[in-house]
């Protein structure tokens, strides 16, 4: 038995913060390591010690085995917690940690090795009569032979990387003629991500459910299960929403799947936390997919329904305790209630989304009953392109599944993230769908039920709100107070702003590449674009504070003004607007609003307000993806306004300065 007193966390973001939370409660000291891109993340401040690593790429930082172990030794840690992703399933890392005389908080490296390769783990499972997805995992001498095997299995098939993970290196193939192209691309992706291009073939089970079982083993040979999770809501084979327990499964099947998971664990002498994943067809036949030998992203839903802290269990097992010594009253708790986790991702687009990057201009979560918010980010953090796009997890819990879904919807609306796009709308559509509500989920859910809607959000309403926000100039981005209209927060409740301001000139506002012209006369907003003219009467609104507008019906709209950009969030709808200045209306080159086409950081500003610049003069230097870009004047002009300072993070399409033609 070795008491663990200090842990190095070899991970970042949400999961690093999560692990620190438990360590604080257990009075265990923590050491964080962080890359340059993560230097202002909250986990860096939360840990007792934080050591910076040179670089931002994963391979120089969170994947640098030698460096991580040497930091753990220098800071006198007893143990390393790998979190999930990165090195958590790297048996070589686990072995090196042990060799350095440290405890690896996870299973023995031999178990990671045994389950790390999907082909090997399939074979192992077959040997103990666990049903695996029908497929071919033998050795062939040519791709043509592999095609023959695929034909024997029968299309559709799934080509999978043996070393795969995170939904990568996997291709569905529907017919013979696509086989070679898909094989090649699966191999290429596998080589890229896992430096190993060996693949195998499985029968593609059409629209199965993804059901997994949380297990725990200890060094005394005990293996227990902590129930199941349904992770069927997936996109590109990656989980989006997870819940525990899985809805609509018979008790008989549930018991069978628990026993199967336990025997899988026992056959490799499994210790610590692990997850056995299965696909399940309509008739509740289940097949082994893979085993993840680590803490899972979705572990909080299991914590909510058991009342256990899985990170604590991991630590205590690593210290040598038996699982029964750790569990309250020495036994596995009964399931209580139902829990749902939403993965909050920085991404653009509903289904065919791509990761987005940029600075979080405002983040707020107002906690409701049964809510748990596991976040890796706070206001001001920069979401970089270097890592996963998942920035936080929102977990909701109650006694019943229906109430949990209601809570999840309320919680999602109460999570405000301004400055960059997130998957709020996708999650909201999932939670509101009747099939989801009835628990009729499978991995084809998103494709079948979730489509971009054509109904345009109430754009006139938002444009009018933007006009109000802009015209009263609440404060500018650097906190310089504007004097024109100064609101005291106390008076704000009573101040209906829609009556009390005038737009002096016509305002031009850009939204999704459409420019709207807007002016207000009496109580009516006149909005035009493309020769169409609308008029709109804005309902009474009151300004609560610099980020918050209250509607008459009691709803709140959150906003944040940055330079000339206005970010809005109304429940799960998020929109970005850009105020165009008078000088920008001219068609000439880059007169007007100077913007960066990429998110980045301001390195230097070469001019000051009032300066006259000539064509070709440098204006601002920006560091973006490690490259320095100089934005230059394309005309002779006067610098009318500058909205940012050196070291500020900037987002795509935020106006940095305004030039005026001379």
- Contacts to ligand ADP by CB under 6 A: 11-15, 84-86, 133, 158, 164-167, 202, 204-205, 208, 210, 234, 237-239, 277, 279, 289-290, 292, 296-297, 387-388, 390, 443
Q: Is 576 exposed, middle or buried (0-12, 13-18, 19+ CB in 10 A)?
A: buried
641 binds, among ligand ADP, Mg ion, none (CB under 5 to 8 A by kind): none
CB of 14 to ligand ADP, least distance (A): 6
Task: Specify whether the CB–CB gap between 310 and 302 falls below 8 A.
Answer: yes
CB of 220 to Mg ion, least distance (A): 28
Give phi and psi for 150, each to the nearest 5.
-60, -40
238 binds, among Mg ion, ligand ADP, none (CB under 5 to 8 A by kind): ligand ADP
Of 234 and 624, which has the nearer Cβ to ligand ADP?
234
**Beta bridge pairs of residue 274:** 215
CB of 46 to ligand ADP, least distance (A): 15
Of 374 and 428, which has the nearer Cβ to ligand ADP?
374
Of 168 and 574, which has the nearer Cβ to Mg ion?
168
279 binds, among ligand ADP, Mg ion, none (CB under 5 to 8 A by kind): ligand ADP
Question: In what order do the strands lie in the sheet containing 338-345?
Answer: 286-292, 272-280, 209-217, 223-235, 238-244, 338-345, 390-398, 371-375
Q: Where are the alpha helices (DSSP H) in 433-495?
A: 434-437, 445-449, 459-472, 489-492
Q: Of 294, 343, 361, 407, which is the active-site residue?
A: 294
Residue nearest to ligand ADP (CB): 85
Residue from 360, 408, 402 nearest 574 by CA: 360
Tell me how far apart the alpha carbons of residues 524 and 118 are, in angstroms, rounded to a whole number. 64
Strands (E), 419-513: 507-511
210 binds, among ligand ADP, Mg ion, none (CB under 5 to 8 A by kind): ligand ADP
205 binds, among ligand ADP, Mg ion, none (CB under 5 to 8 A by kind): ligand ADP
Q: Is 612 helix (H, G, I), strand (E, B) or coil?
A: strand
Task: Specify whether the CB–CB gap between 548 and 558 falls below 8 A.
Answer: yes
Of 160 and 424, which has the nearer Cβ to Mg ion?
160
Give phi and psi for 369, each to the nearest 5.
-60, 140
Of 11 and 91, which has the nearer Cβ to ligand ADP?
11
Catalytic site includes residue 343: no
15 binds, among Mg ion, ligand ADP, none (CB under 5 to 8 A by kind): ligand ADP
Q: How far apart are the first and last CA of the chain?
A: 77
Of 96 and 230, which has the nearer Cβ to ligand ADP?
230
Report cis status (omega within 30 of 0) of the bond before 245.
yes
Residue nearest to Mg ion (CB): 277
CB of 391 to ligand ADP, least distance (A): 8
Of 342 and 637, which has the nearer Cβ to ligand ADP?
342
What are the residues whose beta carbons fall under 8 Å from the beta carbon of 18, sequence distance 6 or more? 311, 374
Binding map of Mg ion across residues 268-287, x = CB under 5 A, - = no contact: ---------x----------
CB of 121 to ligand ADP, least distance (A): 10
443 binds, among Mg ion, ligand ADP, none (CB under 5 to 8 A by kind): ligand ADP
Task: Specify whether the CB–CB gap between 534 and 528 falls below 8 A.
Answer: yes
CB of 331 to ligand ADP, least distance (A): 27
Instruction: Transcribe 287-342 into DSSP letters.
Output: EEEEEE-S--TTHHHHHHHH---HHHHHHHHHHT--HHHHSGGGSPPPP-SEEEEE
Regarding beta strands 170-173 and 103-104, do their DSSP bridges make them parallel or antiparallel, or are they unpaired? unpaired
CB of 60 to ligand ADP, least distance (A): 15
| Residues annotated as catalytic (active site), given as ranges | 294
- Residue ranges in contact with Mg ion by CB under 5 A: 277
């Amino acid at each position: 038995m070795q008491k663990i007193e200090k842990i190095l966390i070899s991970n970042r973001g949400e999961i690093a913060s999560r692990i620190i939370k438990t360590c604080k409660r257990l009075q265990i000291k923590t050491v964080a390591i962080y890359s340059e891109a993560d230097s202002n993340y909250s986990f860096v401040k939360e840990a007792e010690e934080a050591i910076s690593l040179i670089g931002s790429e994963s391979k120089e930082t969170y994947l640098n085995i030698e460096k991580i172990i040497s930091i753990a030794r220098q800071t006198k840690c007893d143990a390393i917690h790998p979190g999930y992703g990165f090195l958590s399933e790297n048996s070589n890392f686990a072995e090196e940690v042990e060799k350095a005389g440290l405890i690896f908080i996870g299973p023995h490296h031999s178990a990671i090795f045994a389950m790390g390769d999907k082909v090997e783990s399939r074979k192992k499972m077959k040997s103990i009569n666990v049903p695996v997805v029908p497929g071919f995992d033998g050795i062939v001498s040519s791709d043509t032979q592999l095609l023959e095997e695929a034909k024997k299995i029968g299309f559709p098939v799934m080509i999978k990387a043996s070393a795969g993970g995170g939904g990568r290196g996997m291709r569905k193939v529907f017919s013979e003629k696509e086989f070679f192209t898909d094989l090649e691309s699966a191999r290429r992706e596998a080589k890229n991500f896992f430096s190993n291009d060996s693949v195998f073939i499985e029968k593609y089970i059409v629209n199965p459910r993804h059901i997994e079982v949380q297990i725990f083993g200890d060094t005394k040979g005990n293996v227990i299960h902590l129930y199941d999770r349904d992770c069927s809501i997936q996109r590109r084979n990656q989980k989006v929403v997870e819940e525990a327990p899985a809805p609509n499964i018979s008790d008989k099947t549930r018991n069978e799947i628990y026993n199967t998971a336990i025997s899988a664990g026992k056959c490799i002498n499994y210790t610590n936390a692990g997850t056995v994943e299965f696909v399940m067809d309509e008739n509740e036949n289940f097949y082994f997919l893979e085993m993840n030998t680590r803490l899972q992203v979705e572990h909080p839903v299991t914590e909510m329904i058991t009342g256990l802290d899985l990170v604590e269990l991991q630590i205590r097992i690593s210290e040598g305790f038996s699982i029964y010594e750790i569990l309250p009253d020495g036994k596995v708790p009964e399931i209580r209630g139902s829990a749902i986790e939403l993965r909050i991702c920085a991404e653009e687009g509903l289904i065919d989304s791509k990761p987005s990057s940029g600075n979080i201009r405002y983040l707020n979560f107002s906690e409701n009953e049964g809510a748990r918010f596991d976040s890796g980010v706070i206001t001001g953090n920069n979401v970089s392109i270097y890592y996963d796009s998942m920035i936080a997890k929102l977990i909701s819990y109650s006694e019943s599944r229906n109430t949990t879904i209601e809570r999840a919807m309320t919680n999602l609306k109460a999570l405000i993230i301004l400055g960059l796009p997130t998957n709020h709308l996708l999650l909201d559509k999932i939670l509101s769908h009747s099939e989801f509500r009835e628990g009729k989920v499978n991995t084809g859910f998103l494709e079948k039920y979730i489509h971009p809607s054509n109904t345009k959000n109430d754009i006139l309403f938002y444009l009018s709100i933007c006009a109000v926000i802009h015209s009263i100039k609440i404060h500018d981005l650097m906190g310089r107070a504007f004097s024109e209209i100064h609101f005291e927060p106390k008076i704000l409740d009573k101040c209906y702003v829609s009556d009390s301001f005038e737009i002096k000139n016509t305002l031009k506002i850009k939204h999704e590449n459409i420019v709207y012209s807007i002016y207000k006369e009496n109580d009516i907003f006149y909005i035009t674009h493309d020769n169409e003219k609308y008029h709109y009467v804005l309902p009474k609104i009151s300004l609560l504070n610099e980020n918050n507008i209250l509607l008459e019906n009691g709803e709140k709209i959150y906003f944040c003004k940055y330079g000339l950009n206005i970010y809005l969030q109304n429940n799960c709808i998020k929109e970005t607007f850009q105020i165009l200045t008078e000088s920008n209306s001219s068609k000439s080159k880059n007169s007007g609003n100077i913007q960066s086409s990429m998110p980045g950081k301001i390195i230097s500003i070469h001019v000051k307000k009032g300066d006259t610049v000539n064509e070709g003069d440098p204006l601002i230097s920006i560091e973006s993806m490690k490259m320095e870009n100089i934005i230059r004047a394309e005309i002779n002009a006067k610098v009318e306004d500058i909205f940012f300072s050196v070291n500020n993070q900037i987002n795509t399409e935020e106006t940095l300065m305004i030039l005026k033609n001379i």
